[in-house]
Structures are given as C-alpha cells and as structure tokens.
C-alpha cells in the first residue's frame, strides 16, 4: 500500500501543528513512519487519503462501538444541527440522555456532562476533594485519566509511549498530592492509606486498565479497594471513560458487581462527538455548583449535537439486547485466532482480554501491572504494526494501547486479520 498523499499531508501539518497531530497518540513516533490521514470511515473500515481501505481496530480509541458513520447517530446529528448548534441555555435533550445514563449505570443518581474524558476525571477529583475536604489522591502507575495536571504522574497511553509519564509543566505542589500505587498490588495501596490516614480524598482507577495495554483487575482487587476506601472515608472513583458502555450497559461496576462513589465517562457516551461526563449519588453530585460549593462549568457542555449523538448511541446500545454477547464472541474468536498463529510461529506473547478490550504483549510472562506491561518487545511490536498495516489492518501505533473491537467487524474481517498476523510472522520466520 502506498501512503504518498498521507506523507505529504503530514509534512504540511507538521509546519503548523506540533508533531503534525492534535493528540500525540496519533503520531507514529514509536513505530516509525508517518501517520495515515483519514478521508472517511464507514462501519469497520477506514478509507485513507491514498485510497487504501483499512480494517479499523482503534475505532476513534473507543467511541465507535457500533461502527463508523453509524446511521442513526449521523441522522440525529444532522437533524439537531438544523435547529442551531449551541445556545448556552438548557435544552430538553440533556435531561433525556441524563435519565437514560442514570437508568443504565448502577449507583448513580445524577450526572453532569462535559466535553472530554479529561474534563470528566479532572472534575471528579475536584468534586471528591471538595466533598471530603481532603487533598491527596491515589492513582495507579500506567493508568491514564486524561491530561490534567494531577494525572500526569506515571501516566499511561501516549504519555508513556512518548517517554513523558511525568510531564514537565506539572508543578511539584500538584505532583506531591498524587500518590502512586501498583495495579493489582493491594499492599501498595494499603501502605499509602496507612501512611496518609484522613488525607486521601479519592482513589481513582481504570477498573480494567486500558492505557498500558489491556490489564484486567485480579479477582477481588476492586472489592478490596472498595473496602479500603470505605474504611478510610475516601471516595472510590472508577474512570470508566474506556470501559463505560463498552464492557456492559452499566460498565465495569455492573460487570464486577463493585460500587464506585464517582464514575467518569467519555468515548462511547458521546457517540463520536466530544463528550465526557461524571456521575455519583445525589449527596455527592449536589456538592457541585450551582447547588453546592465545588465549581465546574463549560460553555459547550451539554452541546445539542453532542447530546443528540450520545443519546442515540446509548439508546441503540440499550435496545440491542445481544450487543455485548456478540462483542464478547467476536473478540474471543479473534483472541483464539491470534493465540494460534502466534504460537505456531513461535512468537513470545501474552494476550489479555476483557470483553471487547484486547491487547497483545510480545512477552511470554503474565502482564498484570505497568512493569510487566513494559517488558514487551517493541521491535516485534513494530514489525507487527507495520506488517499488519501493509495488509490493510490498522491497530494503534503503540504497544501500550488496547484494541477496541467494534460490532461492525464481520467474522471475515477477523479471519482476514488472523491470516494477516500469520503472514507477518511467517515472512519474518
Ligand atoms: C481516553 C481516556 C481518558 C481521557 O479522555 P479524553 O476524552 O481523551 O480526554 C481518561 N481516562 C481513560 C481511562 C481513558 O481511556
């Protein structure tokens, strides 16, 4: 496949946009080459500026769980746009999507909409600090909660891909209030609580980690965190920006049967438009302005186009009773096929999967935290990435990312992908 036009467009972009991209994860720095410029996408496929068709395993990093250009969502956006695109005044559709989200997700009474997952997590932590009147938070190494200052301490996703898990520009004052624990290591969490009793406002976690590759919580880990938070009077914040509406209608809370105090959303909840949200029980949410003292606001929050896209997405998910079964079956099929070809070609690997989140690590040892995730062989990953791309299969250009499976994928697409992996390593053999 040729990427001449993409390369040209990238060269032009680099002159006026830092690194040519508006979000670092889109860059090809860790795999080499230049990013692919998309012209359009339909269902499970991307069509790039050079006329190549690619099977898409990123799906806008999660939102397109029903496929690109999903007709009901597109139509809802078009119809709303004709009525005006932003008012800065309340609209009925905000209540509609709030009611639906509250009915689908356990343990929440109220929800507030923002414009990104970053904003959702940033606001959730401010709310937790205001509510508990405490300053410190606990986060896990390798977890990503958006790019606000408090979270760029040993952060995952692009932050680790590009070697800035601790970003310059975050003050020491801010950094000292973020305490770090190891994923799946309860002792590391206990030690922080014991050393800082009465100081921890919240513990924030990706209930299934997805930004250091996919890492499931060990059995009982989330339950134990719940118990510790309750014991120390801290709020348990589930960052469900990735897992929300992806692992189940009610997200990870439903899947694992563990109740969080605050839940954050992004990605799927916006149906492909810029939406984030955070939610909790009434007593916590009513700590927010204008009822309570914790300030949080947004000119475009609850934007009608974004709400139309999100509402239609959630309605589609809610009424599709087999959706999560189909996603589970498709992703399990992919997992089995990948295991077979990697095994046959003697490639060291570990595959982690929860529902439609899956990732391949090029290391034979179990991957259960940031350190073990970082052991993967990046040279093999590069070969994997470019070998797949050459055959029209697009995965994230970083070994630290999860694949996001969409229901638009057919079994033919999955077979094609499994064969493509075989081709990559046969030729390498
Ligand atoms: C993507 C992501 C975020 C950040 O969301 P943005 O919309 O990119 O700001 C936060 N937390 C998790 C778990 C994510 O996957």
What is the model's pLDDT at position 427?
Answer: 60
**Domain topology for 71-319:** 3.40.640
- pLDDT band at 95; cut points 50, 70, 90: very high
pLDDT higher than 90, residue 334 = yes
Crossing angle for the helix pair 304-319 and 71-81, nearest 10 degrees? 150
Residue 145 Cβ inside 6 Å of ligand 1? The answer reads yes
- Mean pLDDT, the chain, rounded, equals 96
For the stretch 170-200, pLDDT in tens is 998 899 999 999 999 999 999 999 999 999 9
DSSP conformation class of 209:
B
Rounded Cα distance, 193 and 138, in Å = 9
What is the model's pLDDT at position 332?
Answer: 98
The alpha carbon of 22 is separated from its chain's Cα centroid by a whole number of angstroms, namely 17
CATH class of 322-350+359-397: alpha beta
409: left (phi over 0), alpha (psi -120 to 50) or beta: beta
pLDDT higher than 90, residue 155 = no
The structural domains of the chain, with segments of one domain joined by +, span 1-38, 71-319, 322-350+359-397
Residue 242 Cβ inside 6 Å of ligand 1? The answer reads yes
- pLDDT band at 43; cut points 50, 70, 90: very high
pLDDT higher than 90, residue 154 = no
Residue 206 Cβ inside 6 Å of ligand 1? The answer reads yes
Residue 241 Cβ inside 6 Å of ligand 1? The answer reads yes
What is the model's pLDDT at position 29?
Answer: 86
Query: Distance, CA 179 to ligand 1 centroid (Å)?
Result: 20
Atom of ligand 1 nearest to the CA of 240: 13
Query: Distance, CA 4 to ligand 1 centroid (Å)?
Result: 31
Query: Distance, CA 76 to ligand 1 centroid (Å)?
Result: 24
Percent of the chain with pLDDT over 90: 91
Phi, psi of 181 (to 5 degrees): -120, 170
Query: Distance, CA 144 to ligand 1 centroid (Å)?
Result: 7
Whole-structure pTM value: 0.97
Phi, psi of 114 (to 5 degrees): -130, -165
- Averaged pLDDT for residues 308-317: 98
| Cα 56 to Cα 97, 103, 237, 395, distances in angstroms | 28, 31, 31, 7
Phi, psi of 239 (to 5 degrees): -85, 100
DSSP conformation class of 244:
B
pLDDT higher than 90, residue 167 = no
What is the model's pLDDT at position 377?
Answer: 92
Q: Which residues belong to the active site? A: 144, 239, 267
- pLDDT band at 428; cut points 50, 70, 90: low
What is the model's pLDDT at position 118?
Answer: 98
Atom of ligand 1 nearest to the CA of 274: 7
What is the model's pLDDT at position 164?
Answer: 65
DSSP 315-384: HHHHH-TTHHHHHHHHHHHHHHHHHHHHHHTT---EEEEETTEEEEESSSS---SHHHHTTS-HHHHHHH
What is the model's pLDDT at position 168?
Answer: 87
> Which protein residue's CA is at the shortest distance from atom 8 of ligand 1?
117
Tokens 């079956």 correspond to 329
- pLDDT band at 157; cut points 50, 70, 90: confident
What is the model's pLDDT at position 386?
Answer: 96
pLDDT higher than 90, residue 162 = no
- Averaged pLDDT for residues 194-222: 97
> Which protein residue's CA is at the shortest distance from atom 15 of ligand 1?
242
Residue 239 Cβ inside 6 Å of ligand 1? The answer reads yes
Residue 275 Cβ inside 6 Å of ligand 1? The answer reads no
- pLDDT band at 160; cut points 50, 70, 90: low
Percent of the chain that is helix, strand, coil (3-state, to 5): 40, 15, 40
What is the model's pLDDT at position 1?
Answer: 74
117 CB-near residues (< 8 Å, 6+ apart): 145, 146, 239, 241, 264, 265, 266, 267, 276
pLDDT higher than 90, residue 45 = yes
Query: Distance, CA 119 to ligand 1 centroid (Å)?
Result: 9
- Averaged pLDDT for residues 236-240: 98
For the stretch 128-150, pLDDT in tens is 999 999 999 999 999 999 999 99
Residue 424 Cβ inside 6 Å of ligand 1? The answer reads no
């Amino acid at each position: 496949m040729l990427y001449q036009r993409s390369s040209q467009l990238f060269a032009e972009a680099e002159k006026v946009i830092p690194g040519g991209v508006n979000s670092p994860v889109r860059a090809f720095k860790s795999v080499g080459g230049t990013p692919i410029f998309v012209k359009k996408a339909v269902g499970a496929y991307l069509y790039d500026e050079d006329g190549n068709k690619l099977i898409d395993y990123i799906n806008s990093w999660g939102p397109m769980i029903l496929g690109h250009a999903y007709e009901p969502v597109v139509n809802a956006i078009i119809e709303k746009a004709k009525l005006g695109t932003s008012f800065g005044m309340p609209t009925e559709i905000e209540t509609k999507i709030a009611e639906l989200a509250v009915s689908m997700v356990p343990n929440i009474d109220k929800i507030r909409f923002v414009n990104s997952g970053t904003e959702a997590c940033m606001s959730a932590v401010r709310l937790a600090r205001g509510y508990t009147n405490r300053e410190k938070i606990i986060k896990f190494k390798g977890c990503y909660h958006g790019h606000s200052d408090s979270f760029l301490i040993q952060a995952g996703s692009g932050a680790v891909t590009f070697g800035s898990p601790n970003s310059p520009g975050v003050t020491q004052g801010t950094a000292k209030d973020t305490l770090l624990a190891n994923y799946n290591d309860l002792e590391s969490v206990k030690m922080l609580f014991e050393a800082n009793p009465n100081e921890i406002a919240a513990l924030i976690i990706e209930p299934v980690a997805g930004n250091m590759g996919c890492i499931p919580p060990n059995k009982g880990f989330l339950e134990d965190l719940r118990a510790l938070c309750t014991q120390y009077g801290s709020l348990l914040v589930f960052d469900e920006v990735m897992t929300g509406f992806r692992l189940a209608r009610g997200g990870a809370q439903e899947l694992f049967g563990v109740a969080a105090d605050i839940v954050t959303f992004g990605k799927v909840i916006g149906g492909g438009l810029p939406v984030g949200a955070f939610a909790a029980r009434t007593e916590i949410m009513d700590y927010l302005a204008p009822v309570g003292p914790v300030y949080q606001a947004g000119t475009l929050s609850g934007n009608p186009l974004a709400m139309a896209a999100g509402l239609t997405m959630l309605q589609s998910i809610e009424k599709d009773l087999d959706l999560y079964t189909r996603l589970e079956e498709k992703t399990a099929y992919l997992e089995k096929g990948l295991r077979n070809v990697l095994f046959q070609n003697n490639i060291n690997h570990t595959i982690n999967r929860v529902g439609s989140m899956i990732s391949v690590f090029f290391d034979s040892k179990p991957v259960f935290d940031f350190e073990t995730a970082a052991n993967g062989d990046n040279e093999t990953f590069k070969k994997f990435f470019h070998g797949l791309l050459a055959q029209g299969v697009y995965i994230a250009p970083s070994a630290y990312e999860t694949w996001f499976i969409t229901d638009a994928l057919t079994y033919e697409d999955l077979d094609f992908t499994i064969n493509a992996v075989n081709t990559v390593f046969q030729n390498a053999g």
